Amino acid sequence: MMIVKKLREEKYWSQEQLANMAGLSLRTIQRVEAGNPASKETLKSLASVFEIDISELTKRVKMIDKKSEDWQNVPLWVSVGLLGFKERTETILSIALLLLCGLAFFLYGGWGEPISMQAVLWFGAYLLAVGWFAAAVRWADTKGLW
């Protein structure tokens, strides 16, 4: 729920301040900001502190997607690099899986045969594509879009 972090930072509050005002633990605030699910009571407390309706808070949480204004203004290379991905955790897991699969294919794809120059070139192109994907994720991280 990056929206909670965004709302908190707009008010220049620390996580501890928000926790105290909402009657929640610091750990709860940290979990919510990290994207973990929040209980209805937690959402009510946060909505009250931010002086917005709980439905508005939950609606804004669901709006963290590629249709938001922030996502509309990203460079083309980022939107293409993140095509189809809406959550940071799924993108990070995908990058790790892509790297592992690519490495396994490169190392064991020849089944004991010498690695050809063509395989090296394809693996290099594959790494460039995964790097592009990772750079797009990093760009979105630095802009706080997740």
**What is the tens place of the pLDDT at every residue in 28-56?**
999 888 877 788 889 899 999 999 888 77
Contact assessment for residue 32 and residue 38, using Cβ atoms and an 8 Å cutoff = yes
| 68: helix, strand or coil | coil
Burial class (CB in 10 A: 0-12, 13-18, 19+), 35: middle
> In the listed set 13, 38, 62, which residue is the last one of a domain according to the structure?
62
Residue 10 has pLDDT above 80, yes or no: yes
Which range has the top average pLDDT, 26-30, 72-76, 92-96, 133-137? 26-30
Question: Are both 78 and 131 inside the same structural domain?
Answer: yes
How many domains does the structure of the chain reveal?
A: 2
Q: What's the pLDDT at 25?
A: 95
Question: Are both 34 and 80 inside the same structural domain?
Answer: no
> In the listed set 19, 35, 62, which residue is the last one of a domain according to the structure?
62
Question: Are both 84 and 134 inside the same structural domain?
Answer: yes
Mean pLDDT of 68-86: 75
Please tell me the distance from the alpha carbon of residue 132 to that of residue 80, in angstroms, as a whole number. 10
Burial class (CB in 10 A: 0-12, 13-18, 19+), 112: exposed
Question: Are both 44 and 78 inside the same structural domain?
Answer: no
pTM over 0.85: no
Provide the residue range defining the domain that includes 104. 69-142
> In the listed set 18, 41, 62, which residue is the last one of a domain according to the structure?
62
